[in-house]
Amino acid sequence: MSIVTMFEYDFMVNAFEAATIVAVAASLVGYFLVLRGQTFAGHALSHVGFAGATGAVLAGVSPLLGLLVATVLAGAGMGFLGERFQHRDVAIGIVLAMSLGCGLLFLHFFTAYATQATALLFGNVLGVDAPTVLALLALGILIIAALAFISRPLLFATLQPELAEAKGVSLRRLSMLFLVIVALATAASVQIVGILLVFTLMVAPAAAAQRVTIKLWPGLLLSVGLALVEAWLGLTLAYYTDWPTSFWITAIGAAIYMLALSISRQKHVSEYRHEHHHHDEDQVWRPAMTGSRKPKRLSARGEEITARARPISSSSHEH
């Protein structure tokens, strides 16, 4: 079996195209989502989408449409309610749970759709057909164009809300627009990894990228690159193992994030060591003259460095 045979199947070609479009759009949106500390709000949006999609099936409408309408409305609503609500994890969590509950109820009334429910919850990228790829392409272009349009004031409002407001940026309007874009990206991601696993495409690559680079544009590009690796490698592994694609995508997402964590920790330690070495060069140098004390001091130093680096790196995984 070679890579070439993989692409002899139409469904694999469709899957790769769909995953590529969604990975690019979701990872760009995700970069700002992580920067704004709204990842949980984004996670909740996809669950609202479940109620929308199942409700649409019950009403005899396309689930994608129901998903879009529900997530967009919820995104706009969340943006309207403002920053305070967006950081209220309990309130968001309750909305999230209730949405899943409603989705379950809708499925209960429409029992024939067990496979569709699984596809909605965990994704079914291998079942994506050519028209869906086209729909995703249109959606992807819309998402990226809209994000590009608001990205400058969005960055300003994210990093410096007080000054942005004084310069005439409407924080609420921007927040609503952004969450609507998140909602669109969520709806697109659901086609690939499903409602429960949107986090893996939208947040994992972006969070990993922000661990590795502190610069804006390299971060955005790396976020896209990592999402593509996640999607393409996930599909390839699924093809060869016959395990679910979504499993592979989530596993690779987690691996990428862990790798980024360890890179950022290492970088932090080496920068700190470099700086430290520079500052008290004498102190390091002098014990060295007396012989055996040097390695002892260095190892003590090394321990001190890791002890210092750890809380800084681990504390921020919450946002």
Residues in contact with other proteins by the rule CB under 8 A: 35, 37, 148-153, 155-156, 158-164, 166-169, 210-211, 214-216, 219, 312, 316, 319
Smallest distance from other proteins to CB 68, Å: 24
H helices within the chain, ranges in order?
Answer: 3-6, 10-35, 39-59, 63-81, 83-86, 89-109, 114-122, 130-159, 161-166, 171-193, 198-202, 204-212, 216-241, 245-279, 281-289, 293-315
Q: Closer CB to other proteins, residue 8 or residue 162?
A: 162
Q: Closer CB to other proteins, residue 129 or residue 271?
A: 271
Smallest distance from other proteins to CB 47, Å: 25
Q: Closer CB to other proteins, residue 94 or residue 216?
A: 216
Residue 308 corresponds to which tokens in the numbers above?
A: 């210092």
Smallest distance from other proteins to CB 186, Å: 23
Smallest distance from other proteins to CB 153, Å: 6
Long-range (24+ apart) CB contacts under 8 A made by 93-97 are 93/40, 93/44, 95/44, 95/47, 95/48, 96/43, 96/44, 96/47, 96/48, 97/47
Residue 160 corresponds to which tokens in the numbers above?
A: 């410096």
Smallest distance from other proteins to CB 81, Å: 17
What single letter denotes the amino acid at residue 23?
A
Q: Closer CB to other proteins, residue 14 or residue 151?
A: 151
Residue of 201, 202, 56 lying closest to 120 (CA atoms): 56
Q: Closer CB to other proteins, residue 130 or residue 216?
A: 216
